[in-house]
Amino acid sequence: MTSISPLKHTQASGTHPTILWFRRDLRLDDNPALVAALRDGGAIIPVYIHAPEEEAPWEPGAASRWWLHWSLAALDESLRNCGNRLWILRGPSLEALRRLVAETGARAIHWNRLYDPATRARDAEIKQRLRAAGLHCESHKSNLLFEPWEILNAGGQPYRVFRAFWRAWSRALNGRPPYPAPEVIPGLPQDRPEPGERPRLDDLDLLPRIDWDQGLRATWTPGECAAWVRAQSFITSRLAQYGEKRDRPDQPGSSRLSPHLHFGEISPRRLLALIVTAFGDPTRGAAEPYVRELGWREFAHHLLYHFPETPTEPLDRRFSAFPWAEEDLETSLRAWQQGRTGIPLVDAGMRELWHTGWMHNRVRMVVASLLTKNLLIPWQSGARWFWDTLVDADLANNTLGWQWTSGCGADAAPYFRIFNPVLQGQRFDPDGAYVRLWCPELARLPNKYLQQPWAAPQSVLADAGVRLGVDYPHPIVDLAQSRARALAAWERIR
């Protein structure tokens, strides 16, 4: 059970409290909604409303729920250190907010904006209804450095090509410095009765009932403090080599900040400010390759905002008629999900995902390419699996990643660029440390055959203790033939 420590309320001087609605901005640092609520001058009621059904059809998956639980616990602790605490309510959000207003006499409500279609529609309705009821209701920019409508091309249209978006986005980079976290967040007076029966964090059932999350627990510490620790240690000790090492799954070359950024435990503005302090101009020199990835993140949100149908529909409409495979879909999909395709780099990635809730970007591209091009399984099936298993599952980034790799998105890789998992493994996991870690049954194979055990002579397999089809599967697909089949499928729609 999550323990709740005793609370020392810090009483506010104003008469009317303000509601601060936390969503995916689970931090106190650089939080514009919090800053605006503090400016109101009264007590602040920090609230999280549990209403996953309002995000349908993209309710948080199992790994995201796990993260959310611990991130909310961390946020509650931070709020308590400031003399307040997190109130947890159940949705529907509009009803919950209305009840809270009636019970506390709040006159204002602040939140930070999100960009997925379901949340946008819900928030617009809530804002309109609460304003009509006389509340001061305000949303703020916090999740992105630029709102999706702030960066447009000369014709006032959204960008569809990253290079042009990056040029405009990186030129525009400046803006306000991040807001520091407050030391005190005044709460309701101590003697005020607690309104209604409210759920506790544990009641939300975010944690799994069966114990599959050991790998997540061993890998991650959710919450704002951990996000800061990770960001600072990355910037001081690894950012300078990021450009060189970011593609290597066998090395800790990337920041692994994606779940922290997704849940808003650190703001992109804070991250950028830390980078500027350490490296100067973020769009030049050593910092540039990393800041460019933050640019991809903003591009993904730009696309999701302007093309809200893309989580399920290809941006390139020719792909609506793509001839996906019709046979053995379920069997192949299951082998891919379970890391049993018989293709080592792919299996290593899928097992890393299952075990840790994260996968290296290069390997994400390789496994997505195998699924959508070699196996001809619709990209939406892969995106769904990632959605349930990634701790950083993010509708904007996931949609962009899947559409880019399968060839149907904005700025997609040319269709004929089909990743060869053997060559990718030999190039980016040259000593095989990554494959050996996640596929220990292959650990004793020499490097020459590690990425393609099917090519190894029987004597080599025997020496390494590998019986193909017994200890490790035969490949579920022939890479060369399936590549040719994918190119033929492409010819039918291009």
Ligand X SMILES: Cc1cc2nc3c(=O)[nH]c(=O)nc-3n(C[C@H](O)[C@H](O)[C@H](O)COP(=O)(O)OP(=O)(O)OC[C@H]3O[C@@H](n4cnc5c(N)ncnc54)[C@H](O)[C@@H]3O)c2cc1C
Spatial distance between the Cα atoms of 416 and 401, rounded to a whole number of angstroms = 17
Query: Residue 179, annotated ligand binder?
Result: no
Does position 411 interact with ligand X (CB under 6 A)? The reply is no
Query: Could you give the residue ranges of the DSSP H alpha helices within 185-341?
Result: 214-219, 224-237, 242-245, 258-262, 268-279, 288-306, 329-338
Query: Going by C-beta distance under 8 Å and a sequence separation of 6 or more, which residues neighbour residue 326?
Result: none
- Please indicate whether residue 149 is annotated as part of the active site: no
Q: Of the two residues 261 and 435, which places its CB atom closer to ligand X in the complex?
A: 261
Q: Of the two residues 141 and 245, which places its CB atom closer to ligand X in the complex?
A: 245
Choose, by CB under 6 A, the member of 405, 420, 452, 482 that binds ligand X.
405
Q: Of the two residues 129 and 256, which places its CB atom closer to ligand X in the complex?
A: 256
Does position 160 interact with ligand X (CB under 6 A)? The reply is no
Choose, by CB under 6 A, the member of 227, 261, 272, 304 that binds ligand X.
261
Query: Residue 250, annotated ligand binder?
Result: no
The residue type of 356 is: T
- Please indicate whether residue 387 is annotated as part of the active site: no
Choose, by CB under 6 A, the member of 112, 143, 255, 380 that binds ligand X.
255
Quote the distance between the C-alpha of residue 269 and its chain's center. 17
Q: Which stretch binds ligand X (CB under 6 A): 30-38, 69-77, 90-98, 292-300?
A: 292-300
Cα–Cα nearest to 298, from 181, 172, 140: 172
Interacting residues with ligand X between 294 and 323 (CB under 6 A): 294, 296-297, 300
Q: With residue 222 as reference, give the H or E element that holds it.
A: none
Spatial distance between the Cα atoms of 33 and 10, rounded to a whole number of angstroms = 19
- Please indicate whether residue 404 is annotated as part of the active site: no
The residue type of 419 is: F
CA distances from 146 to 274, 295, 323, 461 (A): 18, 10, 38, 54
51-55, long-range: CB within 8 Å, 24+ apart, which pairs? Answer: 51/90, 51/91, 51/92, 51/93, 51/96, 53/91, 54/91, 54/92, 54/93, 54/118, 54/119, 54/122, 55/116, 55/118, 55/119
- Please indicate whether residue 296 is annotated as part of the active site: yes
- Please indicate whether residue 58 is annotated as part of the active site: no
Minimum gap (Å) between residue 197 Cβ and ligand X: 36
Does position 77 interact with ligand X (CB under 6 A)? The reply is no
Choose, by CB under 6 A, the member of 256, 340, 355, 444 that binds ligand X.
256
Spatial distance between the Cα atoms of 29 and 103, rounded to a whole number of angstroms = 28
Does position 401 interact with ligand X (CB under 6 A)? The reply is yes
In sequence order, the β-bridge partners of residue 22 are 48
Spatial distance between the Cα atoms of 397 and 445, rounded to a whole number of angstroms = 36
Q: Which stretch binds ligand X (CB under 6 A): 85-93, 108-116, 293-301, 468-476?
A: 293-301
- Please indicate whether residue 293 is annotated as part of the active site: yes
Q: Which stretch binds ligand X (CB under 6 A): 64-72, 193-201, 390-398, 446-454?
A: 390-398
Spell 23-58 as b/e; 16+ CB within 10 A means b.
bbbbbbbbbbbbebbbebebbbbbbbbbbeebbeeb
Query: Residue 449, annotated ligand binder?
Result: no
Catalytic residue among 138, 313, 361, 447: 361
For the chain, the straight-line distance linking the first and the last C-alpha, in angstroms and rounded, comes to 55
Choose, by CB under 6 A, the member of 356, 372, 397, 452 that binds ligand X.
397
Interacting residues with ligand X between 26 and 55 (CB under 6 A): none
Choose, by CB under 6 A, the member of 10, 254, 381, 452 that binds ligand X.
254
Catalytic residue among 293, 313, 447, 454: 293
State the residue number with the nearest CB to ligand X. 401
Cα–Cα nearest to 437, from 254, 216, 250: 250
Catalytic residue among 169, 402, 438, 490: 402
Query: Residue 394, annotated ligand binder?
Result: yes
Minimum gap (Å) between residue 403 Cβ and ligand X: 9
Choose, by CB under 6 A, the member of 201, 272, 400, 435 that binds ligand X.
400
Query: Residue 392, annotated ligand binder?
Result: yes
Are residues 453 and 425 in contact, defined by beta-carbon separation less than 8 angstroms?
no
Does position 246 interact with ligand X (CB under 6 A)? The reply is yes
Minimum gap (Å) between residue 250 Cβ and ligand X: 14
What one-character DSSP code corresponds to residue 119? Answer: H
Spatial distance between the Cα atoms of 72 and 76, rounded to a whole number of angstroms = 6
Query: Residue 258, annotated ligand binder?
Result: yes
Are residues 485 and 478 in contact, defined by beta-carbon separation less than 8 angstroms?
no
Q: How many residues bind ligand X (CB under 6 A)?
A: 28
Q: Which stretch binds ligand X (CB under 6 A): 38-46, 169-177, 342-350, 393-401?
A: 393-401
Number of residues written out for the chain: 494
Query: Going by C-beta distance under 8 Å and a sequence separation of 6 or more, which residues neighbour residue 109?
Result: 18, 19, 20, 21, 97, 101, 130, 135, 136, 137, 138
Does position 257 interact with ligand X (CB under 6 A)? The reply is yes
Choose, by CB under 6 A, the member of 93, 398, 420, 451 that binds ligand X.
398
Q: Which stretch binds ligand X (CB under 6 A): 108-116, 124-132, 210-218, 392-400?
A: 392-400
Catalytic residue among 228, 296, 387, 490: 296
Q: Which stretch binds ligand X (CB under 6 A): 13-21, 394-402, 412-420, 453-461?
A: 394-402
Tell me if residue 28 falls in helix, strand or coil.
coil
Does position 293 interact with ligand X (CB under 6 A)? The reply is yes
- Which residues does the annotation mark as catalytic? 293, 296, 324, 361, 379, 402
Binding residues: 242, 254-258, 290, 392-394
* Positions that interact with ligand X (CB under 6 A): 246, 254-258, 261-262, 293-294, 296-297, 300, 361, 364-365, 368, 386, 390, 392-394, 397-398, 400-402, 405
